[in-house]
Amino acid sequence: MARTGRRPGGEDTGGRILAAARAEFGAKGYHQATIRSIAAEAGVDPALVHHYYGSKDDLFAASIDLPLRPTDIADVLLAGGLESVGRNVATLFFSVWENPGTRDPLMAMLRGAFDNEQGAAVMREFFGSGLLGRVAPQIGGPDAELRVSLAVSHLVGVAVLRYVIGFPSLVKVPVEQLIETLSPRIQSYFTD
Amino acid sequence: MARTGRRPGGEDTGGRILAAARAEFGAKGYHQATIRSIAAEAGVDPALVHHYYGSKDDLFAASIDLPLRPTDIADVLLAGGLESVGRNVATLFFSVWENPGTRDPLMAMLRGAFDNEQGAAVMREFFGSGLLGRVAPQIGGPDAELRVSLAVSHLVGVAVLRYVIGFPSLVKVPVEQLIETLSPRIQSYFTD
C-alpha cells in the first residue's frame, strides 16, 4: 500500500499525539493550542485526537504526565547527601530544561499553571506531594518547607527568564556557568 | 441630568479604562481579557476603549506602563549601599506585590510575557534597560549582569509561586518571614 502524507492510526499513535500535545501546549499555552493544531502536528485527524484522549482538558492532563516523577527527582537530589544537593539540583534542572524531550512537558506545565486553575493545581501537586513532602523532612526545622519552596521558586524563575522570556543575560551564559553561580544559593537553603 | 449606570466620558475616563485593563489583563491574561470585558469593568462603551487606546495590543502596551520606573527602583535599592541591597530588594518586592494597585500591572506584565512575544519584550526591556544597566555596574566584575539577573529570577519565581500559582507553603507564610529568609540569598548575589 502506498504511504500518504497522513500516517495511519497504529500502536504509537497515542504517543505521537501526546508528544504533539506537549510541544503545542509548551509553545503556545493552553488557550492557543487547539485540538486541530495538535492533530496537524501529530499528522493525524482531529477526530483521532478526541478518540484517544477525549476533550482538550483531558489531553492537557495527559500531556503533563511528566517523564520525571517528583519522588524520583527527590531520590536523585538526595543521593549525595545534603551537602551536595545545591549542585545536584542545579545540574538536574538544566539537564531536563536543555533537553527538548523533557523541556516540552515542563514548559507545558508552567504555561498551563498561568493559563488555568487546573494547570496551577497540577503544578502545586507536582511540587507539593512528591517533592516537598520527601525533601523537607531531610532538612528538618520549622522552616524546612519554606526553604525548599524558596529553592524551587528560584529554579522556576530561572526557567521563566531563560526559557520563556529569553532574558539575554541568562540566555547567553553557558550552562556550566549558570550551575556554578546558582548552586551555592540553592545549597544555602538546605544547609545554612 | 439624571445619572445612568453607564458613566459618561470625562477627564478621568482614560485612567479608569487603564485601571480596568490592568485588572483584566492581570486576572485573565492577554488572550482571555477582551476589549468588551475591560469596557464592562470600567463601566464604559467598548467603542470608547478603542477611541482612547486603539487596538487591544495598544491598550496592553499602555496598561503595562508601570507605576514603578526601573530607574526609580534602582535608586531605592542602592540607597543604603550594596551591603543592604538584599533586604531592600526583598522589602520593596513584597511591598509592591502585596499592594493590589501595584500588583495588578506587574501581574499583567508577567502574564503578558507568557502570552505573547510583545509581552516578553516588555519584560526584557523593563529589567534590561533600566534595572540591569543601572545596578550591574555597581557590583562590577565580569559576571555582574549574571548575578543581578539571577537575583531577579529568584524574585520572579517567588511572584509566580506565591501570587500566580498559590503554592501553599509560600502563601501561608507572613511577609516578614519571607523577607527574613529570602534577603540573605538575594544579598549573596551582590556581595559574596
Domain boundaries defined on chain A: 13-63, 70-191
Cβ of A24 under 8 Å from any chain B Cβ? Answer: no
The residue with greater pLDDT, B32 or A185, is A185
Q: Say which CATH architecture domain A13-63 belongs to.
A: Orthogonal Bundle (1.10)
**CA-to-CA dists, residue A96 to A67, A82, A92, B109, B152, angstroms:** 10, 21, 6, 27, 22
Provide the grid cell at A36.
Answer: 486541530
| CA-based nearest distance B76→chain A, Å | 23
Contact B128 A169 (CB under 8 A): yes
B44: three-class secondary structure by DSSP: coil
**Predicted structure pTM score:** 0.76
pLDDT band of B103, cuts 50, 70, 90 = confident
Contact A165 B192 (CB under 8 A): no
Lowest mean pLDDT across A64-68, B94-98, B134-138: A64-68
Q: Give A80-96 pLDDT, tens digit per residue.
A: 888 899 999 999 899 88
Q: What is the model's pLDDT at position A26? A: 76
- Nearest alpha carbon to residue B139 among B187, B185, B91: B187
Query: Could you tell me which CATH number the domain at A70-191 has?
Result: 1.10.357
The average pLDDT across B136-149 equals 90
Q: Give A153-173 pLDDT, tens digit per residue.
A: 999 999 999 999 999 999 999
The complex's ipTM?
0.75
Q: Could you report how far apart the first and last alpha carbons of chain A are, in Å?
A: 66
Provide the grid cell at A164.
Answer: 520563556
Alpha carbon A116 to chain centroid, angstroms: 16
| CA-based nearest distance A177→chain B, Å | 9
| CA-based nearest distance A9→chain B, Å | 33
Q: What is the model's pLDDT at position B28? A: 77
